[in-house]
Amino acid sequence: MKVAIIGGGAAGMSAASRVKALRPNWDVKVFEKSRWVSHAPCGIPFFVGGAVEKFDELCAYDIDYFKRERGIDVHTNARVVEIEEGRLTVDEGGKEASYEWDKLLFATGSKAVRLNVEGENLEGVIYVDDIENAERVKIEAMKVDNVVVVGSGYIGVEMADAITRLGKNVTVIEVMERPLPEYDAEIAAIIKSEMEKYVNLRLSEKVTAFEGKDRVEKVVTNKGEYPCELAIIAVGVAPNTDLAKGFVELGVKGAIRTNSRMETSRENVYAAGDCAESINIVTGREDWIPLAAPANKMGYVAGVNMAGLEMHYPGSLKSQLTGFKDIEIGKAGLSENEAIRFGYEVVSAFITSRTSARYLPGGLIHLKVVADRNGKLLGLQAVGKDVAMRVYAASALLHKNGDVKDLFFCDFPYYPPVSRVWDPLVVAARNIFRKLGLP
């Protein structure tokens, strides 16, 4: 049996590894357009900021490991240019080669959304959409004084943090009214306050052009101009489905439509990771959730089913963690704004609490829990100290369709230096009780 996998990132290598583990005699080939496989684009800001010293540490395993230990035939610098039933055409270093397949997986990931403005092709304007750009960003950043980051989603916030750690002057430009626009206003206000201590944060501004002679010298918006020797663009991503169009059916936001086995509309063709749609566990609807943890699991499930066994992917919560300087930021499930857009009648509680016992030093956590009028838990957002473990706890409950009573009665452990007898999650749940008319 011949298995072809397009893309050597999280989903692709997870699927390839699963197929070979279950069917060691099968021929499994992975075609990756870059020099790297099993790469971690989420780690780019930490390499740029110096937390990761060596670029190759951003790859979980090297190519030889997959070939030697797992028997996967990995082709790097291999760009698939055409797909036919049972056959792929691949450009490998300028030479085209043809490969047969019996089962095919699309694991082509996502691609950066472009601004499509004048001057975006100038030297010094870099889109953070490829792990190979990590080295370029760091080298460029070390040589300049003024850096503009366009976009304040997760990557934008983390890149701004990283560049300030290099001692540079950073301006962050966001078209929406708050940083991390997926978060509700109460949480975003705290993030905004923290960011303004370190960067020139420009909100509700739209970039209209980049200007410069040989390379970028300034960024122009609808409200002003900013000196700039390096512009880092992180305004979002879209499913990378150019190859899939016309071959398989597309779904939400242009991602490849799949069922719970990661099968596409075409027999023996699968899709996983950032190029594929899945189910939002909270809403029960098809969604597109381009994150690393779901991508790995989608790849695992695809690999199991490609090998002829059966496993179903239940969906994703869009659980996320990030940070800026000394604060952690996290979210699982829906924000209040998102819940309202999905048609829920919402109740919520926003609290600020210490994270440790009163008699020990600790920090503050600002936390918001969202539920519906029946008490169904819809989501959590938090910023401050010890956010991660609260997001983990909420994610587990959301995954099992828990309600606010589950959140209240869940037996969270108590350890005075890092938690309280009445954990912030429990306090927030109790506040929702009151709004629901519970005793």
pLDDT in tens, 162-193: 999 999 999 999 999 999 999 999 999 999 99
> 292-306 vs 10-22: helix axis angle to the nearest 10?
30
Q: For residue 62, what pLDDT is reported?
A: 76
Q: For residue 68, what pLDDT is reported?
A: 82
Residue extents of the structural domains in the chain = 2-108+241-306, 114-233, 326-436
SS3 labels along the chain: CEEEEECCCHHHHHHHHHHHHHCCCCEEEEECCCCCCCECHHHHHHHHCCCCCCHHHHECCCHHHHHHHHCCEEECCEEEEEEECCEEEEEECCEEEEEECCEEEECCCEEECCCCCECCCCECEEECCCCCHHHHHHHHHHHCCEEEEECCCHHHHHHHHHHHHCCCEEEEEECCCCCCCCCCHHHHHHHHHHHCCCCEEEECCCEEEEECCCECCEEEECCCEEECCEEEECCCEEECCCCCECCECECHHHCECCCCCCECCCCCEEECHHHECEEECCCCCEECCCCHHHHHHHHHHHHHHHCCCCCCCCCECCCEEEEECCEEEEEEECCHHHHHHCCCCEEEEEEEEECCCCCCCCCEEEEEEEEECCCEEEEEEEEECCHHHHHHHHHHHHHCCCEHHHHHHCCCCCCCCCCCCCCHHHHHHHHHHHHHCCC
Average pLDDT, the chain: 95
Q: CA–CA separation, 129 vs 101, rounded Å?
A: 29
**Best CA proximity match to 428, nearest among 377, 388, 363:** 377
**Does the pLDDT of residue 35 top 90, yes or no?**
no
Kindly indicate the confidence band of residue 328, based on its pLDDT and cuts at 50, 70 and 90.
very high
**Chosen CATH of 2-108+241-306 out of 3.50.50.60, 3.30.70.260, 3.40.50.300, 3.30.390.50:** 3.50.50.60
- 186 near 366, Cβ under 8 Å? yes
Q: For residue 67, what pLDDT is reported?
A: 80
42 in catalytic set: yes
Query: Regarding predicted confidence, which is higher, 36 or 265?
Result: 265
In the sheet with 225-227, reading across from the earlier edge strand, the strands are 207-211, 218-221, 225-227
Decide if 2-108+241-306 and 326-436 have a common fold: no
Q: Under CATH, to which class is 326-436 assigned?
A: alpha beta
- 366 near 385, Cβ under 8 Å? no
What is the value of pTM for the model shown?
Answer: 0.94
**Best CA proximity match to 334, nearest among 276, 286, 395, 387:** 395
Highest mean pLDDT among 51-55, 131-135, 174-178, 358-362: 174-178
Per the residue annotation, which of 42, 228, 275, 410 is the catalytic one? 42
In the sheet with 346-354, reading across from the earlier edge strand, the strands are 320-324, 327-333, 377-384, 364-372, 346-354
Fold classification of 114-233 is FAD/NAD(P)-binding domain (3.50.50)
